Amino acid sequence: MPRATLPPPARLLAVFAASLLVATGALLAVATPRAEGAKPCWERAIDDWVDNGRIDGVYSASCITAARNHVPEDIRAYTDIIDKLDSYRLNTVRSLESTTGRDAKPPTVNRRVPTPEPEASNGKDEAPLPYVLGKGTTDASSIPVPLMVLAALALLLMAAGAAGFAQRKLKARRDTSGPS
C-alpha cells in the first residue's frame, strides 16, 4: 500500500508554516517578562528611574551603588541616570545626618518619602505606543519596541521571500510538466 504523501508545494508550505510557528513561539518565549520579585535590587532601582525619570522608591546605598555599576551603556551615554543615582545617594546621606546627627548611628530603615512632581498630562498617557503595548515595555530588561518592530518586519520579509520562492518553484514545475 503506497504511503500518502503531501504534494511538494503543500509540503513546502507546511514546512514554512511550521518554521513560522516555531520562530513566533521562540520570540514570545524570549519576550515574556520575569516576576517582579525575581529582580535584583539594582534592576528595580533602574526600572524605577526608567519609569518616569525619577527614583521614587526607597533603596539602600549598596543597591544604588550596584545600580550605578550595572547601568547599560546606552542609558548611561544618553541620559542623566548617573546624576540621578548620585543625587539620590547624597540626599539619603544628608537626610540621615540631619535626623541622627553626625556621630549617631544611622537607623536601620530609611523611610525617605519622595516629593511628588506635578503631572503635566492631566493623568493621561498621551503617547499612542505605550497605550497599545501596555506598560510592559518600560522595564530595563524588556525588549525595546524598535527591536520588536524590526523582528516583525524581518518575519514579514522572510514570509514574502518564501512565498516568492514557492511561486517560482510551482511555475517551473508547471512549465516542465505542461504540454511540449
**pLDDT tens-digit profile of 100-121?**
665 555 555 445 555 555 555 5
User: Per-residue pLDDT averaged across 90-98, rounded?
Assistant: 78
Q: Helices 41-52 and 61-70 sit at what angle, rounded to 10 degrees?
A: 70
pTM of the model: 0.40
pLDDT score for 32? 58
3-state secondary structure the chain: CCCCCCCHHHHHHHHHHHHHHHHHHHHHHHHCCCCHHHCCHHHHHHHHHHHHCCCCCCCCHHHHHHHHHHCCHHHHHHCCHHHHHHHHHHHHHHHHHHHHCCCCCCCCCCCCCCCCCCCCCCCCCCCHHHHHHCHHHCCCCCCCHHHHHHHHHHHHHHHHHHHHHHHHHHHHHHHHHCCC
**pLDDT tens-digit profile of 43-82?**
999 999 888 888 888 888 889 999 999 998 888 888 899 9
Give 82's contacts (C-beta < 8 A, 6+ positions apart).
68, 71, 76
